[in-house]
């Protein structure tokens, strides 16, 4: 699966300083880092129901635009961006230019690898630029075929670097075609311009949401597990970890995944195995851009015992209620029996009196 990661606090990519006054104002207004991402997909042959070439564009995690070879038209997906009708024409030309470049790359891959066109191959590119609040820009781009990474863009050398031996010829050919220089211009100039242009119009979609936390535990044959579920937060980047005795991090053997919620927020669950120790404390630490300081939630070890106590109390109440009901039932039965006996005695007395009269 094609992937990349752009760190929120640290980056391994080369940076470019933005000095334009308008851009600096925007960075001060929209504190925090923001990312513009392009997901480009191209099929080697046409497939019914799918465009042969398509682009999906995101600002942070918000999908705002798309383009495909069927319509050959860049389309905004957010109503507030519809004001850029003239700007969309420039996007069309840019997208069509990149589409031509991608077709050339796909044809070279097919020909150099002796691939047949009766099998549909998928070529993908993920490109991104990150604008940090200090005014620096990070850029990244990589290409893959059928999910296998081929080349990565090196901004310092302005070249595509092969990731596998099979991609050496592709990287050499792409660099000779000056595609790397064109990508450099795209990522450092147009990408940055688009991001600073769109941010004021989609701010409502990017408002930070503070994470909520729920702690729980579970027992199994292997021992005790502590679970820290963090949910309802935005943006996506978050750091969640378990700490023992306020200083020692407990590493999880499970790979925690950040999952989307239907409302556009995210959730994650981090679980760790622990061995109960007397006096030991466990806490979940959450670091998110919406928080001024990391959030620390202490796991109450008495919770389980408290739950058992509540259960015992509830059972006791039910037993008392049943005992009271049973006592009331027996009392009513006894009263009915005594009334019946009294009625029988009265009838016997009346019968005896009648016999004496006769």
pLDDT digits (tens, 9 = 90+) for 177-230: 777 777 777 777 776 788 888 888 887 777 889 999 999 999 888 789 999 999
Q: What percent of the chain has a predicted confidence (pLDDT) above 70?
A: 75
List the Cα angle 325/331/333 in 5-degree steps: 105
- Note the pLDDT of residue 341: 54
* Residue 23, Cβ density class (10 Å: 0-12 exposed, 13-18 middle, ≥19 buried): middle
Confidence of residue 347 (pLDDT cuts 50, 70, 90): low
Indicate the fold that domain 15-205 takes in CATH.
Answer: 3.30.500
Mean pLDDT of 259-282: 87
Buried/exposed code over 163-200 (b: 16+ C-beta within 10 A; e: otherwise) = beeebeebbebbbeeebbeebbebbbeebbebbbebbe
- Of 261, 235, 186, 233, the closest CA to residue 62 belongs to 235
Residue 4's alpha-carbon distances to 37, 76, 97, 236, 292, in angstroms, are: 11, 25, 24, 14, 27
Residue 326's alpha-carbon distances to 25, 44, 312, 340, in angstroms, are: 78, 80, 21, 21
Mean pLDDT of 319-330: 63
User: pTM, whole model, 2 decimals?
Assistant: 0.60
Mean pLDDT of 296-315: 62
- Note the pLDDT of residue 12: 35
The yes-or-no verdict on residue 309 having pLDDT over 50 is no
User: First vs last Cα of the chain: how many Å apart?
Assistant: 111
Indicate the fold that domain 212-299 takes in CATH.
Answer: Immunoglobulin-like (2.60.40)
Confidence of residue 248 (pLDDT cuts 50, 70, 90): very high
Assess contact for 191 and 36: CB atoms under 8 A.
yes
What residues pair up with 63 in beta bridges, in sequence order?
58
The yes-or-no verdict on residue 317 having pLDDT over 90 is no
- Note the pLDDT of residue 49: 86
Cα distance between residue 74 and residue 91, in whole Å? 6
Tens digits of residue pLDDT in 15-72: 444 445 455 445 444 556 788 899 999 998 888 888 999 999 988 888 889 999 999 8
| Of 283 and 180, more confident | 283
Assess contact for 162 and 170: CB atoms under 8 A.
yes
Distance of CA 93 to the CA centre of its chain: 33
Instruction: Rank 28-32, 43-47, 168-172, 317-321 by mean pLDDT and report only the highest.
Output: 168-172
- Note the pLDDT of residue 212: 96
Cα distance between residue 240 and residue 228, in whole Å? 8
Tens digits of residue pLDDT in 220-247: 887 899 999 999 998 888 999 999 999 9
- Note the pLDDT of residue 17: 45
Q: Angle formed by the axes of helices 21-29 and 191-198, to 10°? A: 50
Mean pLDDT of 123-141: 83
- Note the pLDDT of residue 279: 82
Cα distance between residue 47 and residue 69, in whole Å? 12
Assess contact for 131 and 34: CB atoms under 8 A.
yes
Cα distance between residue 344 and residue 349, in whole Å? 9
Q: How many residues does the chain have?
A: 358
- Note the pLDDT of residue 238: 94
Mean pLDDT of the chain: 78
Assess contact for 143 and 42: CB atoms under 8 A.
no
Q: Which helix (H) or strand (E) holds 293?
A: none
Confidence of residue 312 (pLDDT cuts 50, 70, 90): low
- Note the pLDDT of residue 215: 96
Confidence of residue 6 (pLDDT cuts 50, 70, 90): very low
**Dihedral sign (CA 227, 228, 231, 236):** negative
């Amino acid at each position: 699966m094609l992937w990349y990661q752009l760190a929120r606090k640290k980056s391994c990519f080369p940076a470019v300083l933005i000095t334009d006054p308008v851009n600096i104002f925007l960075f001060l207004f929209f504190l925090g880092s923001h990312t513009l991402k392009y997901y480009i997909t191209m099929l080697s042959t046409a497939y019914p129901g799918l465009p042969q070439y398509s682009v999906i564009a995101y600002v942070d995690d918000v999908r705002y635009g798309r383009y495909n070879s069927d319509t050959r038209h860049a389309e905004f997906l957010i109503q507030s961006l519809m004001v850029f009708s003239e700007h969309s024409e420039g996007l069309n030309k840019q997208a069509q230019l990149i589409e031509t470049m991608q077709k050339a790359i796909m044809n070279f891959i097919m020909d150099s690898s002796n691939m047949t066109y009766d099998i549909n191959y998928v070529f993908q590119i993920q490109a991104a630029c990150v604008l940090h609040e200090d005014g620096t820009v990070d850029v990244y781009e990589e290409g893959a075929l059928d999910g296998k990474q081929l080349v990565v863009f090196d901004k310092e050398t302005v070249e595509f670097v092969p990731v596998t031996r099979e991609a050496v010829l592709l990287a050499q050919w792409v660099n000779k075609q000056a595609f790397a220089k064109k990508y450099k211009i795209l990522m450092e100039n147009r990408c940055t311009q688009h991001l600073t242009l769109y941010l004021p119009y989609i701010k409502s979609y990017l408002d930070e949401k503070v994470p909520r936390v729920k702690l729980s535990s579970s027992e199994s044959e292997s021992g005790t597990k502590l679970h820290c579920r963090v949910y309802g937060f935005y943006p996506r980047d978050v750091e969640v970890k378990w700490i023992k005795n306020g200083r020692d991090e407990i590493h999880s053997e499970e790979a925690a995944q950040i999952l989307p919620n239907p409302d556009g927020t995210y959730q994650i669950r981090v679980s760790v195995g622990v061995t109960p120790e007397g006096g030991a404390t466990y806490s979940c630490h959450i670091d998110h851009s919406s928080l001024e300081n990391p959030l620390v939630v202490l796991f109450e070890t008495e919770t389980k015992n408290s739950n058992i106590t509540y259960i015992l109390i509830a059972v006791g109440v039910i037993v008392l209620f049943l005992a009271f009901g049973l006592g009331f039932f027996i009392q009513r039965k006894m009263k009915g029996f005594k009334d019946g006996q009294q009625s029988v005695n009265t009838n016997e007395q009346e019968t005896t009196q009648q016999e004496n009269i006769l």
